[in-house]
A and B are shown apart, each in its own frame.
Chain A
Amino acid sequence: MQRDTPVQAGGGLRGKRGYDGALVQEEYVTVLISFDIDGTLEVGDPPGPLTMDMVRLVRDKGFLIGSCSDRTLSGQRGIWATHEIEVDFVVSKHMLPDVKAKFEADTYVHIGDREDLDRQYALKAGFDFLWPDEAVAHDYFQPAP
């Protein structure tokens, strides 16, 4: 299922530091995460290390989320619907620039398992990139304190 509009455009608090490095305030930042499916998510073929509960976790944190895969758009929607996860976008592999144009965020991240189809596309589109194993260990996927 796909959210018509972001239910909450946010991602978490980020510390803002003054010229001397001291923490002077915290600001709300928006994080958008694009998930590859095969080799990245547990439901992929082959299965990846990111569980659907991890996806739910970042969704509940208010991240903008969606999938960017070579799977059909209807197939991607079917996966999200099966797992009752509302997402903000589903796109084909080459459409990360469209995602960036459509959604305003402070940080754009794509997680995938292929150098050519994930990392290169992501960096070219101005996304940060995480390998699935890196993502699992990232703060994004840790429960909020």
Chain B
Amino acid sequence: MTTPIATDAMYRNDEGMGIWEHRGKVAAVGVGHAPTARRWDGRPETCVGAISIQALRQAIADAGVAPDQIDGLVVVRETTTGAFWEEGKPLPMDVIQSFQQTDDPLDGIAKLSAEWLLANMPELSNVKFTMYGPGCMSNALNVTAQAVGDGLAHTCLVVKSWHNFEGRYYQGGANAGDALPGTPAITQLWGGPASYSTALQFAEYCRKYGKTHEMMAPFMENSRRNGLRFPEGYWAQHRPEELGPEDYLASRWIAKPANLFDNDIPIMMSGAYLFSTAERAADMKQKPVYILNHASSNTRPRSLLPTLDEVEDDTARTGRKIYEGAGITADDLSFENMYDGFSLFHQFHLEGLGFRGIKFGEALDFYATDISIEGPNPVSPSGGNVGSGRSRVWMHTDCIQQLQGRAGERQVTGVTPEVAVSGGPMPLGGNFTVWSASPD
């Protein structure tokens, strides 16, 4: 079979769509994560395909489902944003020959197809539905939820993986050439570091509301603290280092006012989930976490970079879409778990949600209050990419685990975990999922 890329029909992009038609009828049950690493060490068993298989098998086992009961697979085909196989570099034939291959020799090494996974996971003998959710787990989750709701699959796996090679991030691939077509010629080839558009928005945010970069320190410290309680994450597994205010503020600028720690660390990782219908999920090994809604932003900025005004308009719109389709309000959120990789846009997501009633320009003051997992207003209990490395996955795993009551040392204790939302990546152009401990 040839796997299609999800079409617009799989997403909820607009306001006014009403309650999601499958609200409470789709559930996440199993979670799987492979061990992380800073970079690929060149071995077959640690390539991005191998760790994806590992994560998927964990998710299957975690849900207690027989592999032959699985009939769907949603995959994020892209496994990097900035670590590309150097042109002309010899192919690692020993690795390639360790697996069933597809037409692309770098499948399973620098990218990931559904066909490669199915060829190397013979136990998934009854998968009839496959689809790509581009870019992020946030996107793929929307696709998976809609697919299960629509009956395209009743028991569906979803996986997002990241590879990281030696060398500098964002220096290879198209960026290594002398020319790029269209807008990327300005934004990538001749542009600043990847975080510079967020840095510009944050600088304007500080000017508009009278805030400072130093006010980010409590959020950063809290995020790393939570990340160090995330045993699946990079920092917890490899470098259990706190990120106190002195550490954060002493770091060098990457794109002022974005410093090194405002940029997430690229890693090798894979995360997978098993989704099913609410009826089937009830009999599985873990407590079902029900999907109340999914929502997306497909807003395009007027010019090359989104302005702060555009960001605020769109995050507010996203918040309204999230709540409308789920039939909830901001008051229903037990905690907040939006994306953070770049940390300087986390407050845009937070303010767009109106979490705990905060308005635009108030998030950095909110960070100075008790935002810990023990307090009444947990912010990013997952720790996000700041806490566990670049994945865009942690916040989703955390929502599931928190609502299942198995987040371990990270479990929120100041609130009862009942309803949560997670998603990203960017304030313009993200995908979001609303999770609930109950289907109602």
Contact = CB atoms under 8 A, between A and B. Distances in A.
B252 A92 contact: yes
B243 A72 contact: yes
Given A45-B38, A78-B241, A72 B252 contact: no
Contact of A71 (B38, B241, B244, B253): B241
A95 B260 CA distance: 14
Interface string A67-100: 0001111110010000000000001111100000
Nearest to B38: A45
Size category of the binding interface on chain A: 10 to 19
B251 interface: yes
A71 B247 CA distance: 9
Contacts of A73: 246-247, 250
Interface in B226-256: 238-239, 241-244, 246-248, 250-253
Nearest to B260: A70
Interface string B307-320: 00000000000000
Contacts of B241: 71-72, 74-75, 78
Contacts of B251: 70, 72, 92
B38 A92 contact: no
A21 to B, nearest CB: 44
A70 B247 CA distance: 10
A72 B248 CA distance: 7
A45 B253 CA distance: 21
A70 B250 CA distance: 10
A94 B252 contact: yes
Contacts of A72: 241-244, 247-248, 250-251, 261
Contacts of A93: 252
Contact of B247 (A45, A75, A94, A95): A75
Nearest to B166: A46
A97 to B, nearest CB: 12
B252 A74 contact: no
Nearest to A45: B38
Q: Is the interface of A mostly helix, strand, loop or mixed?
A: loop
A74 B246 CA distance: 8
A66 to B, nearest CB: 14
Nearest to A94: B252
Contacts of B250: 72-73, 91-92, 95
A91 B244 CA distance: 15
A124 B241 CA distance: 30
Q: Is the interface of B mostly helix, strand, loop or mixed?
A: loop
Nearest to A95: B250
Contacts of A45: 38, 238-239
A83 B303 CA distance: 53
Nearest to B244: A74
A93 B241 CA distance: 17
Interface string B9-38: 000000000000000000000000000001
Contacts of A46: 39
A46 B165 CA distance: 12
A70 B253 CA distance: 11
A72 B247 CA distance: 5
A91 B242 CA distance: 16
Interface in A18-53: 45-46
Nearest to B41: A46
A36 B161 CA distance: 31
The winner among A70, A72, A74 for most chain B CB atoms within 10 A is A72
A71 to B, nearest CB: 7
Nearest to B250: A92
A39 B251 CA distance: 19
B220 to A, nearest CB: 11
Contacts of B242: 72, 74
A71 B239 CA distance: 10
Contacts of B243: 72
A131 B281 CA distance: 57
Contacts of B253: 94
A75 B242 CA distance: 8
A95 B242 CA distance: 21
A94 B250 CA distance: 9
B195 to A, nearest CB: 15
A128 to B, nearest CB: 21
Interface in A98-119: none
Nearest to B243: A72
Contacts of A75: 239, 241, 247
A73 B249 CA distance: 10
A73 B246 CA distance: 8
Contacts of B252: 70, 92-94
B311 to A, nearest CB: 29
Given A74-B244, A94-B253, 6 more contacts: A45-B38, A45-B238, A45-B239, A71-B241, A74-B242, A91-B250
Interface of B: 38-39, 238-239, 241-244, 246-248, 250-253, 260-261
Query: A-B pairs with the 8 shortest C-beta distances?
Result: A72-B247, A94-B252, A75-B241, A92-B250, A93-B252, A74-B247, A73-B247, A72-B241
14 contacts: A45-B239, A70-B251, A70-B260, A71-B241, A72-B241, A72-B250, A73-B247, A74-B242, A75-B241, A75-B247, A78-B241, A92-B250, A92-B251, A95-B250
